[in-house]
Chains A and B, each alone.
Chain A
């Protein structure tokens, strides 16, 4: 078993400190940003080996290289940035550097956004809102990792990442960013599959309202029914019925 990689963590205090230094975010190096964050950067004290400077540099180079394919640093239209989101999401799940329990931590993703690739954050979200740097559902990279983790059909599956690529931003928010359903990839994937089938039937333009109604009902039903415990045929049937009803 390979040794587990411990990523640096950045607390909220450090995030605020760094986003008050825009020049450092745009042009600084990883080490300069870490130095500015001071004691706000920490690691798990044991349980693996710390990601070293070379690991972090590789992570930075790979994110930047990916962003460059979509117009970073000077170009990039909305459609290109959406494509960046889909590709980056897949890459983050498949990349070996951030995994397991570390990938579930807000402070790890805060570090990635503030110290590893803040210039990509500012390209992807031009307003540079603080939420794009803080750990959480709005963090530039954590949101992508979460959607790929939730909507992954599995290694070896045909069109493994189709759900990540096909779902609208609104649908992703409705499904992935609701912990009661998004945290369980089995359930999240099944809902996304039902979304895809419904969109093919009624047209994507109608899906925003339909999705919101369907997901609201699914979340309510999931409180009294353990949807994740259902076998696949029953689960698909149940979820499609929610979408069908919402589309009436």
Chain B
């Protein structure tokens, strides 16, 4: 998340008392396990409610404005589509807050067919009008963002961390490679794509002993496999000038983010450039570090 330096005073967090979003489906409260809502589909319609209270006098004191003049707007923005940056966003609720009207209830309906992958409810306190300004750094511009919080809910099951598929290499690679054990199907050119849908480990069905070892989650087999896969991906990524991708471009579930996490785990605190140098000048240590990462993790998925 990029930190924003606001060029105006903002209220302290204790000036806003925001209750949790209560999300219901057919009148029953929804449970979000790790931010994920189970059994959601396009026919699911939700209701969301939260209680919200603003200490207008405190906000005015913190921002150098007059409590009897300041007028605030509470807006809720509904966003959906895409894992990190939403593809669709619109303001769904607006409530004016001012002295004498400090406690409100925010309520909105979420139509299932409009939701894609996740939904985000962003609540913000916006300056509607400042009235008399007492300090040079007081917010004066209508629309100034004074406070925000975000409720994020994924509605799709998260896929296996390492998608695998068994297939006959004699069929997939008719011109050769039929004896290979596995093949990692991915491209270093698509680091910004979602890991779960763009990386796939193909296991050769024509090598039944290997297939069985993988299916039985044989620890040594899986560890060696994972080690080779990780080494390949890390080595390819660190050779790219644009790795790791800017956080504003890559989602946490992107190929880049997954590789970056491996790099951080295997080479804590080292830059991609330092890891690249190590891979070039001391490949044994490089592979040793990566080889220490896994302990049959594929078998747990």
Residues of chain A from 106 to 135 with CB closer than 8 A to chain B in the complex: 106-107, 130, 134
A48 / chain B contacts, CB cutoff of 8 Å: 41-43, 113
Tell whether A224 is near chain B: CB-to-CB under 8 Å: yes
Q: Is the CB of A105 within 8 A of B116?
A: yes
Q: Is the CB of A224 within 8 A of B7?
A: yes
Interface centre among B124, B144, B185, B198 (most CB of A within 10 A): B198
Bound CA span A57–B291, Å: 50
Tell whether A51 is near chain B: CB-to-CB under 8 Å: no
Bound CA span A224–B82, Å: 23
Q: How many residues of A contact B (CB 8 A)?
A: 39
Tell whether B165 is near chain A: CB-to-CB under 8 Å: yes
Tell whether A185 is near chain B: CB-to-CB under 8 Å: yes
Tell whether A44 is near chain B: CB-to-CB under 8 Å: yes
Tell whether B98 is near chain A: CB-to-CB under 8 Å: no
Q: Is the CB of A225 within 8 A of B144?
A: yes
Tell whether A160 is near chain B: CB-to-CB under 8 Å: no
- Segment from B83-91, B101-109, B229-237 that makes contact with A: B83-91
Q: Is the CB of A234 within 8 A of B90?
A: no
Chain B min CB distance to A99 (Å): 8
A104-B88, A183-B86 known; A230 vs B41 contact (CB < 8 Å): no
Tell whether A159 is near chain B: CB-to-CB under 8 Å: no
What total of A-B pairs shows CB separation below 8 Å? 121
B90 / chain A contacts, CB cutoff of 8 Å: 184-186, 228
B46-90 contact mask (Cβ, 8 Å, vs A): 1 or 0: 000000000000000000000000000101010111100111111
Q: Is the CB of B165 within 8 A of A228?
A: no
Residues of chain A from 1 to 58 with CB closer than 8 A to chain B in the complex: 4, 6, 11-13, 16, 39, 44-48
Q: Is the CB of B41 within 8 A of A45?
A: yes
Q: How many residues of B contact A (CB 8 A)?
A: 48
Tell whether B280 is near chain A: CB-to-CB under 8 Å: no
Chain A min CB distance to B60 (Å): 19
Chain A min CB distance to B4 (Å): 5
Bound CA span A185–B91, Å: 10
Q: Is the CB of B77 within 8 A of A228?
A: yes
Q: Is the CB of A47 within 8 A of B44?
A: yes
Residues of chain B from 146 to 167 with CB closer than 8 A to chain A in the complex: 163, 165
Tell whether A100 is near chain B: CB-to-CB under 8 Å: yes
B159 to chain A: closest residue by CB: A11
Tell whether A203 is near chain B: CB-to-CB under 8 Å: no
B124 / chain A contacts, CB cutoff of 8 Å: 226, 229
Q: Is the CB of B198 within 8 A of A229?
A: no
Chain B min CB distance to A215 (Å): 15
Bound CA span A44–B157, Å: 11
Chain B min CB distance to A58 (Å): 21
Q: Is the CB of A13 within 8 A of B197?
A: yes
B190 / chain A contacts, CB cutoff of 8 Å: 12, 130, 134
Chain A min CB distance to B299 (Å): 21
A137 to chain B: closest residue by CB: B87
A46 / chain B contacts, CB cutoff of 8 Å: 41, 43
Q: Which residues of B contact A (CB under 8 A)?
A: 4, 6-8, 41-44, 73, 75, 77, 79-82, 85-91, 94, 112-117, 124, 126, 141-145, 163, 165, 185, 187, 189-190, 193-194, 197-200
Give 13 new A-B contacts, CB below 8 A, not counting A225-B141, A226-B145, A229-B73: A46-B43, A48-B41, A48-B113, A101-B116, A105-B81, A149-B88, A184-B90, A223-B4, A224-B145, A226-B126, A227-B143, A228-B90, A229-B94
A-B contact pairs, 7 of them (CB 8 A): A100-B42, A100-B116, A101-B117, A179-B85, A183-B88, A184-B90, A230-B143
| 5 tightest A-B CB contacts, nearest first | A47-B41, A104-B81, A12-B198, A47-B42, A101-B116
